[in-house]
Amino acid sequence: MRNGAFDTPMRNLRNDLQNVARDAEALLRATADVANDRVQEARARTEKTVKQAFDHLYNRRMHRRVRRYARHTDEYVRDHSWTVIGVVAGVALLIGLLSRRD
């Protein structure tokens, strides 16, 4: 069973890794005859592609972490709803009292 939310990041990662491989091959070809301009251009493309790959990996990890924290927060609020209501009411009362102090 494939999850649509999981497919897109994996597809992006796969594309990025293919781009890294393609650019690495271009870098190897460019360094064969050691032409400085071509080497610099290929290296710049490779650096850009690697950065994009790491950005996609980082974003995927961050999304997983945020979803996990949201799930835990939701579970906590459901399990301790009266405690949460009391804390929110107390904070609202405190803010209300502090805002009246002029």
pLDDT tens figures, 4-30: 555 677 677 777 777 777 777 776 666
Q: With bands split at pLDDT 50, 70 and 90, how would you rate the model's confidence at 1?
A: very low
Cα–Cα dist 34/22, whole Å? 19
Q: Please count the structural domains in the chain.
A: 1
Task: Give the pTM.
Answer: 0.39
3-state DSSP call for residue 49?
helix
User: Is the pLDDT at 93 greater than 70, yes or no?
Assistant: yes
Average pLDDT, the chain: 76
Predicted confidence (pLDDT) per residue in 57-83, tens digit: 667 777 788 888 888 988 888 898 898
